[in-house]
Amino acid sequence: MSLFLSGLGLTAIAPVLCRKACAARGPQWAYTLGCMAAVMGPYFLLCTFVDMHTVLLLCVTVGAPFWIVERIRAARGKSRFTQGVIAFAVELAPIAVLLLVVRSFVAEAYVVPSSSMRPNLAVGNLVLVDKITYGLRYPLSNKLFLEISSPRRADVLVFRFPLDRSKPYIKRVIGIPGDLIEYRAGELYVNNVRVLDEDVERYEYVDEESGKPKVVTSRTEELGGARYKILHDIHAQELGRGTDFPDIPGCDRNDVGLKCLVPNDSFFVLGDNRGNSLDSRYWGFVPSHDIIGRALYSVSLDKMKFKFQRISN
Protein backbone atom coordinates (compact mmCIF):
# COMPACT_ATOMS: atom_id res chain seq x y z
CA MET A 1 0.00 0.00 0.00
CA SER A 2 2.87 2.40 0.74
CA LEU A 3 4.17 1.89 -2.80
CA PHE A 4 0.71 2.70 -4.17
CA LEU A 5 0.45 5.88 -2.07
CA SER A 6 3.95 6.95 -3.11
CA GLY A 7 3.03 6.47 -6.77
CA LEU A 8 -0.22 8.35 -6.30
CA GLY A 9 1.53 11.28 -4.62
CA LEU A 10 4.27 11.52 -7.26
CA THR A 11 1.74 11.33 -10.09
CA ALA A 12 -0.34 14.09 -8.49
CA ILE A 13 2.56 16.50 -7.97
CA ALA A 14 4.19 15.91 -11.37
CA PRO A 15 1.89 18.20 -13.46
CA VAL A 16 2.63 21.09 -11.08
CA LEU A 17 6.42 20.82 -11.34
CA CYS A 18 6.96 19.81 -14.95
CA ARG A 19 4.83 22.46 -16.68
CA LYS A 20 6.40 24.39 -19.57
CA ALA A 21 6.08 27.59 -17.55
CA CYS A 22 8.13 26.04 -14.77
CA ALA A 23 10.73 24.90 -17.29
CA ALA A 24 10.99 28.41 -18.79
CA ARG A 25 10.91 30.61 -15.67
CA GLY A 26 11.29 28.33 -12.66
CA PRO A 27 14.41 26.65 -11.26
CA GLN A 28 15.77 23.79 -13.34
CA TRP A 29 15.87 21.46 -10.35
CA ALA A 30 12.10 21.81 -9.86
CA TYR A 31 11.42 20.90 -13.49
CA THR A 32 13.79 17.93 -13.23
CA LEU A 33 12.05 16.72 -10.07
CA GLY A 34 8.71 17.11 -11.83
CA CYS A 35 9.83 15.00 -14.76
CA MET A 36 11.19 12.39 -12.36
CA ALA A 37 7.88 12.33 -10.48
CA ALA A 38 5.97 12.00 -13.78
CA VAL A 39 8.03 8.90 -14.61
CA MET A 40 8.37 7.25 -11.19
CA GLY A 41 4.75 7.88 -10.11
CA PRO A 42 3.13 5.72 -12.81
CA TYR A 43 5.99 3.21 -12.43
CA PHE A 44 5.21 2.75 -8.72
CA LEU A 45 1.49 2.49 -9.46
CA LEU A 46 2.10 -0.21 -12.06
CA CYS A 47 4.37 -2.14 -9.68
CA THR A 48 1.50 -2.23 -7.17
CA PHE A 49 -0.65 -4.29 -9.53
CA VAL A 50 1.88 -5.91 -11.89
CA ASP A 51 5.08 -7.81 -11.16
CA MET A 52 8.06 -5.43 -11.15
CA HIS A 53 9.95 -7.68 -13.55
CA THR A 54 7.15 -7.37 -16.12
CA VAL A 55 7.08 -3.58 -15.70
CA LEU A 56 10.84 -3.34 -16.26
CA LEU A 57 10.59 -5.53 -19.35
CA LEU A 58 7.83 -3.26 -20.70
CA CYS A 59 9.96 -0.17 -20.02
CA VAL A 60 12.93 -1.68 -21.85
CA THR A 61 10.82 -2.86 -24.79
CA VAL A 62 9.22 0.57 -25.27
CA GLY A 63 12.07 2.85 -24.19
CA ALA A 64 15.17 1.21 -25.70
CA PRO A 65 14.20 1.74 -29.39
CA PHE A 66 13.52 5.45 -28.72
CA TRP A 67 16.84 5.76 -26.85
CA ILE A 68 18.69 4.26 -29.85
CA VAL A 69 16.87 6.62 -32.22
CA GLU A 70 17.87 9.62 -30.09
CA ARG A 71 21.52 8.52 -30.08
CA ILE A 72 21.49 8.19 -33.89
CA ARG A 73 19.84 11.61 -34.32
CA ALA A 74 22.36 13.19 -31.95
CA ALA A 75 25.28 11.65 -33.89
CA ARG A 76 23.87 13.14 -37.11
CA GLY A 77 23.38 16.57 -35.53
CA LYS A 78 19.57 16.44 -35.63
CA SER A 79 17.18 17.74 -32.97
CA ARG A 80 15.55 15.40 -30.48
CA PHE A 81 12.55 13.36 -31.57
CA THR A 82 11.11 13.24 -28.01
CA GLN A 83 10.48 16.24 -25.76
CA GLY A 84 9.64 17.01 -22.12
CA VAL A 85 8.71 14.15 -19.80
CA ILE A 86 8.86 11.59 -22.62
CA ALA A 87 12.46 12.62 -23.38
CA PHE A 88 13.34 12.31 -19.68
CA ALA A 89 11.80 8.82 -19.54
CA VAL A 90 13.65 7.73 -22.69
CA GLU A 91 16.99 8.71 -21.14
CA LEU A 92 16.26 6.31 -18.28
CA ALA A 93 16.11 3.31 -20.65
CA PRO A 94 19.73 2.20 -19.98
CA ILE A 95 18.98 2.17 -16.24
CA ALA A 96 15.92 -0.01 -16.88
CA VAL A 97 18.08 -2.39 -18.96
CA LEU A 98 20.65 -2.60 -16.17
CA LEU A 99 17.98 -3.25 -13.52
CA LEU A 100 16.36 -5.91 -15.69
CA VAL A 101 19.67 -7.75 -16.21
CA VAL A 102 20.57 -7.58 -12.51
CA ARG A 103 17.10 -8.75 -11.38
CA SER A 104 17.02 -11.53 -13.98
CA PHE A 105 20.46 -13.04 -13.54
CA VAL A 106 22.26 -11.64 -10.47
CA ALA A 107 20.10 -10.66 -7.49
CA GLU A 108 16.85 -9.05 -6.46
CA ALA A 109 15.29 -7.76 -3.25
CA TYR A 110 12.43 -9.48 -1.45
CA VAL A 111 10.41 -8.11 1.49
CA VAL A 112 9.40 -10.69 4.10
CA PRO A 113 5.57 -10.58 4.32
CA SER A 114 4.85 -12.72 7.40
CA SER A 115 6.22 -14.15 10.64
CA SER A 116 6.71 -17.65 9.22
CA MET A 117 10.52 -17.31 9.27
CA ARG A 118 10.87 -15.93 12.79
CA PRO A 119 13.08 -15.71 14.79
CA ASN A 120 15.54 -15.23 11.90
CA LEU A 121 13.40 -13.02 9.64
CA ALA A 122 10.68 -10.66 10.81
CA VAL A 123 7.89 -8.96 8.86
CA GLY A 124 9.31 -6.18 6.69
CA ASN A 125 12.90 -7.46 6.61
CA LEU A 126 14.57 -6.83 3.25
CA VAL A 127 16.19 -9.97 1.83
CA LEU A 128 18.81 -10.09 -0.93
CA VAL A 129 18.04 -13.05 -3.19
CA ASP A 130 21.03 -14.63 -4.96
CA LYS A 131 19.96 -15.75 -8.46
CA ILE A 132 23.34 -17.03 -9.68
CA THR A 133 24.19 -19.91 -7.33
CA TYR A 134 21.56 -22.34 -8.59
CA GLY A 135 21.80 -21.32 -12.25
CA LEU A 136 20.49 -18.83 -14.80
CA ARG A 137 16.83 -18.65 -15.79
CA TYR A 138 14.85 -16.93 -18.53
CA PRO A 139 13.30 -13.70 -17.17
CA LEU A 140 9.57 -14.36 -17.67
CA SER A 141 9.21 -18.15 -17.87
CA ASN A 142 11.72 -18.76 -15.01
CA LYS A 143 12.90 -21.81 -16.98
CA LEU A 144 16.44 -22.88 -16.12
CA PHE A 145 18.83 -22.73 -19.10
CA LEU A 146 22.16 -23.03 -17.25
CA GLU A 147 22.30 -25.17 -14.10
CA ILE A 148 25.17 -24.44 -11.70
CA SER A 149 24.16 -26.16 -8.45
CA SER A 150 21.14 -27.43 -6.50
CA PRO A 151 19.63 -26.22 -3.25
CA ARG A 152 21.14 -27.83 -0.15
CA ARG A 153 19.56 -28.66 3.18
CA ALA A 154 19.23 -25.57 5.40
CA ASP A 155 19.36 -23.12 2.47
CA VAL A 156 16.74 -20.37 2.72
CA LEU A 157 14.80 -20.49 -0.52
CA VAL A 158 12.63 -17.90 -2.30
CA PHE A 159 10.21 -19.55 -4.73
CA ARG A 160 6.86 -19.17 -6.43
CA PHE A 161 4.05 -20.60 -4.31
CA PRO A 162 2.99 -23.77 -6.20
CA LEU A 163 -0.73 -23.16 -5.53
CA ASP A 164 -0.54 -19.51 -6.67
CA ARG A 165 2.60 -18.81 -8.71
CA SER A 166 2.03 -15.05 -8.58
CA LYS A 167 3.07 -15.08 -4.92
CA PRO A 168 6.72 -15.44 -3.86
CA TYR A 169 7.32 -17.45 -0.67
CA ILE A 170 10.37 -17.80 1.55
CA LYS A 171 11.13 -21.00 3.50
CA ARG A 172 14.05 -23.20 4.57
CA VAL A 173 15.03 -26.32 2.62
CA ILE A 174 14.70 -29.40 4.82
CA GLY A 175 14.54 -32.22 2.28
CA ILE A 176 16.22 -32.67 -1.09
CA PRO A 177 15.28 -35.24 -3.77
CA GLY A 178 15.30 -38.79 -2.33
CA ASP A 179 15.06 -37.70 1.33
CA LEU A 180 12.54 -39.26 3.71
CA ILE A 181 11.05 -36.49 5.86
CA GLU A 182 8.99 -37.14 8.99
CA TYR A 183 7.29 -34.63 11.26
CA ARG A 184 6.13 -36.35 14.46
CA ALA A 185 4.38 -34.31 17.15
CA GLY A 186 6.46 -31.26 16.34
CA GLU A 187 9.77 -33.15 16.01
CA LEU A 188 11.63 -33.34 12.69
CA TYR A 189 13.33 -36.41 11.23
CA VAL A 190 15.39 -36.57 8.03
CA ASN A 191 16.16 -40.05 6.67
CA ASN A 192 15.08 -41.62 10.00
CA VAL A 193 17.49 -39.43 11.99
CA ARG A 194 16.05 -36.87 14.39
CA VAL A 195 17.25 -33.34 13.66
CA LEU A 196 18.98 -32.17 16.81
CA ASP A 197 17.93 -28.99 18.58
CA GLU A 198 19.15 -27.37 21.78
CA ASP A 199 19.48 -24.08 23.68
CA VAL A 200 15.84 -23.64 24.68
CA GLU A 201 14.99 -19.94 25.07
CA ARG A 202 11.88 -17.81 25.56
CA TYR A 203 10.86 -15.76 22.51
CA GLU A 204 8.15 -13.11 22.27
CA TYR A 205 6.67 -11.41 19.21
CA VAL A 206 3.44 -9.80 18.01
CA ASP A 207 1.50 -11.84 15.45
CA GLU A 208 0.75 -9.65 12.40
CA GLU A 209 -2.63 -11.32 11.73
CA SER A 210 -4.19 -11.24 15.18
CA GLY A 211 -2.18 -8.32 16.57
CA LYS A 212 -1.76 -10.28 19.80
CA PRO A 213 1.57 -11.00 21.54
CA LYS A 214 2.84 -14.58 21.41
CA VAL A 215 5.26 -16.37 23.71
CA VAL A 216 6.97 -19.44 22.24
CA THR A 217 10.09 -21.55 22.66
CA SER A 218 13.17 -20.82 20.55
CA ARG A 219 15.65 -23.60 19.78
CA THR A 220 18.86 -23.96 17.79
CA GLU A 221 18.53 -26.61 15.08
CA GLU A 222 21.38 -28.25 13.17
CA LEU A 223 20.94 -29.60 9.65
CA GLY A 224 23.32 -30.07 6.73
CA GLY A 225 26.22 -28.61 8.68
CA ALA A 226 24.31 -25.38 9.39
CA ARG A 227 22.98 -24.09 12.71
CA TYR A 228 19.97 -21.80 12.87
CA LYS A 229 17.20 -20.88 15.30
CA ILE A 230 13.61 -22.11 15.04
CA LEU A 231 10.42 -21.54 17.02
CA HIS A 232 9.12 -24.87 18.29
CA ASP A 233 5.65 -26.04 17.26
CA ILE A 234 4.24 -26.66 20.73
CA HIS A 235 0.75 -27.40 19.38
CA ALA A 236 1.89 -29.94 16.75
CA GLN A 237 -0.74 -28.79 14.25
CA GLU A 238 -2.97 -31.14 12.31
CA LEU A 239 -0.78 -30.83 9.21
CA GLY A 240 -3.64 -30.08 6.85
CA ARG A 241 -6.02 -32.86 7.74
CA GLY A 242 -9.61 -31.72 7.44
CA THR A 243 -8.69 -28.57 5.53
CA ASP A 244 -9.09 -27.48 1.91
CA PHE A 245 -5.50 -28.44 1.08
CA PRO A 246 -5.23 -31.35 -1.38
CA ASP A 247 -3.59 -34.67 -0.59
CA ILE A 248 0.15 -34.60 -1.22
CA PRO A 249 1.45 -37.34 -3.57
CA GLY A 250 4.35 -39.08 -1.84
CA CYS A 251 3.17 -38.10 1.66
CA ASP A 252 1.22 -39.98 4.31
CA ARG A 253 -0.71 -38.18 7.04
CA ASN A 254 -1.58 -40.12 10.19
CA ASP A 255 -2.30 -39.64 13.89
CA VAL A 256 1.41 -39.32 14.66
CA GLY A 257 2.22 -36.75 12.02
CA LEU A 258 3.45 -36.63 8.43
CA LYS A 259 5.87 -38.77 6.41
CA CYS A 260 7.05 -37.70 2.92
CA LEU A 261 9.43 -39.06 0.32
CA VAL A 262 10.80 -36.11 -1.64
CA PRO A 263 10.48 -36.74 -5.43
CA ASN A 264 13.03 -35.85 -8.11
CA ASP A 265 13.47 -32.15 -8.95
CA SER A 266 11.53 -31.13 -5.84
CA PHE A 267 12.25 -29.90 -2.32
CA PHE A 268 10.58 -30.12 1.07
CA VAL A 269 10.56 -26.74 2.86
CA LEU A 270 9.54 -25.49 6.30
CA GLY A 271 9.23 -22.08 7.90
CA ASP A 272 11.49 -21.52 10.89
CA ASN A 273 8.39 -20.56 12.89
CA ARG A 274 7.11 -24.13 12.92
CA GLY A 275 3.83 -23.35 14.65
CA ASN A 276 2.91 -20.49 12.32
CA SER A 277 4.01 -21.37 8.80
CA LEU A 278 2.16 -22.47 5.68
CA ASP A 279 4.71 -24.81 4.13
CA SER A 280 5.35 -28.28 2.65
CA ARG A 281 3.47 -29.92 5.53
CA TYR A 282 0.26 -28.51 4.05
CA TRP A 283 0.63 -28.06 0.29
CA GLY A 284 3.52 -30.30 -0.73
CA PHE A 285 6.87 -29.90 -2.45
CA VAL A 286 8.56 -27.03 -4.27
CA PRO A 287 9.33 -27.99 -7.91
CA SER A 288 12.76 -26.85 -9.09
CA HIS A 289 11.17 -24.76 -11.88
CA ASP A 290 9.42 -22.60 -9.24
CA ILE A 291 12.67 -21.60 -7.52
CA ILE A 292 13.55 -17.89 -7.75
CA GLY A 293 16.82 -18.00 -5.83
CA ARG A 294 18.62 -18.38 -2.53
CA ALA A 295 18.04 -15.82 0.22
CA LEU A 296 21.57 -14.78 1.10
CA TYR A 297 21.44 -11.68 3.31
CA SER A 298 18.79 -9.81 5.27
CA VAL A 299 18.68 -6.14 6.18
CA SER A 300 16.54 -4.83 9.04
CA LEU A 301 16.25 -1.71 11.15
CA ASP A 302 16.52 -2.47 14.87
CA LYS A 303 16.53 0.36 17.45
CA MET A 304 17.53 2.90 14.78
CA LYS A 305 20.44 0.71 13.68
CA PHE A 306 20.74 -1.27 10.46
CA LYS A 307 21.27 -4.99 11.03
CA PHE A 308 23.00 -6.90 8.22
CA GLN A 309 22.81 -10.69 8.57
CA ARG A 310 23.77 -13.69 6.44
CA ILE A 311 20.94 -16.25 6.38
CA SER A 312 22.24 -18.99 4.04
CA ASN A 313 25.63 -20.69 3.97
Residue 190 φ then ψ, to 5°: -125, 120
Length reported for the chain: 313
Mean pLDDT of the chain: 84
What residues contact residue 9 under an 8 Å CB cut-off, 6+ apart? 41
User: What is the predicted pLDDT for the residue at 243?
Assistant: 57
Residue 192 φ then ψ, to 5°: 65, 10
pTM: 0.82
Structural domains of the chain ordered from first start: 2-105 (no CATH), 109-310 (2.10.109.10)
Asked if residue 152 has pLDDT above 90, the reply is: yes
Choose, from 104, 114, 116, 277, the residue flagged as catalytic: 116
Q: Out of 11-20, 31-40, 155-164, give the one with best mean pLDDT.
A: 155-164
**Banded pLDDT at 224 (limits 50, 70, 90):** confident
What kind and span of H or E run contains 2?
helix 2-17
Mean predicted confidence (pLDDT) in 23-49: 75
User: What is the predicted pLDDT for the residue at 174?
Assistant: 96
Q: How far is CA 247 from CA 132, 165, 182, 241, 282, in A?
A: 33, 19, 16, 9, 9
DSSP string, 211-225: --EEEEEEEEEEETT
Burial of 226 (0-12, 13-18, 19+ CB in 10 A): middle
User: What is the predicted pLDDT for the residue at 244?
Assistant: 63
User: What is the predicted pLDDT for the residue at 115?
Assistant: 87
Asked if residue 142 has pLDDT above 70, the reply is: yes
User: What is the predicted pLDDT for the residue at 26?
Assistant: 61
- To the query of whether residue 143 is one of the catalytic residues in this protein, the response is no
CB 270 within 8 A of CB 107: no
Asked if residue 143 has pLDDT above 70, the reply is: yes
pLDDT tens sequence across 78-117: 888 888 888 888 888 999 999 889 988 899 888 888 889 9
Alpha-carbon distance of 90 to 252, in angstroms, equals 56
Listed range (49-63, 156-170, 240-254, 259-273) with the worst mean pLDDT:
240-254
- To the query of whether residue 78 is one of the catalytic residues in this protein, the response is no
Choose, from 115, 131, 171, 312, the residue flagged as catalytic: 171
The closest alpha carbon to 176, from 251, 266, 252, belongs to 266
Alpha-carbon distance of 151 to 134, in angstroms, equals 7
